[in-house]
Amino acid sequence: MSDRSTGSVVIVDYGMGNLFSVLRACQSVGVDAVVTNKKQDILDASGVILPGVGAFGEAMRNLAALDLIPVLRDVAANGTPLLGICLGMQLLMSESREFGRHRGLDLIRGDVVQLPMEAERELVSKVPHVGWEAVHPPQGAVPGGELVPAWDGTALQTLASGEYMYFVHSFYCRPEQGNKVLSVTRYGAFEFCSSLIEGNVTGCQFHPERSGPSGLRIYRNFAAKAMTLEQGAHRAGKA
């Protein structure tokens, strides 16, 4: 049985992302993906990936200039799977405090704040946080190396607790509701939300495209979910 996906996943080009690394990662696992900032292409996609590298405020200004803020909100409201990567995950939040206060897409209630640079017990080693760290379910309910039942049906399904992902960031997301946290990661003595989910909207602070075979599985899982929903909608339309 082939694991190649059919259908289209759109990678949103708003001038701030490692677009072609994400595209190559998708292609390497058989995902039919395109890079675009065309509104209708994004609205028609079976799944949408919002990558990002850089400053939150500039990213939101670029999205506004392209008139993509309402488009991405429509994608989320329509039930289309939406995956934010690194800065793209942070943009899903209500606001960021990076170099001032900036409104986000507000798809997941909460804010984006800086990793602590100095705190009791030397919470982190240094900022920015660059390197490989393990991801676990919240509260560490599953031992390392075991599959996580709570991740079933999400982009992290088929990943085991404790798998390592690659991070490059100075800020992290704080969802208002703890049940939006999909995984946590420890950096020094400090634990932060490393992925989150609300309905069809998922965010990963780490870079799956730079995280080896485990990271690539996230793109495969995301696309598989998008294709399943698209095929279900197609069958319903024929009924």
Give me the active site residues, please.
Answer: 86, 207, 209
Three-state secondary structure call for residue 189:
coil
**Residue ranges in the chain assigned as alpha helix (H):** 19-28, 39-44, 56-65, 69-77, 87-91, 212-238
Task: Please state, as a whole number, how many other Cβ atoms lie within 10 Å of the Cβ of residue 169.
Answer: 24
Number of other CB atoms surrounding residue 238 within 10 Å: 6
Rounded Cα distance, 47 and 59, in Å: 21
User: Residues near 209 by Cβ (< 8 Å), separated by ≥ 6?
Assistant: 18, 21, 22, 24, 25, 85, 215, 216, 219
Residue 110 and residue 173 in contact, taking contact as beta carbons nearer than 8 Å: yes
Is the separation of the CB atoms in 207 and 221 below 8 Å?
no
Amino acid (one-letter) located at 73: R
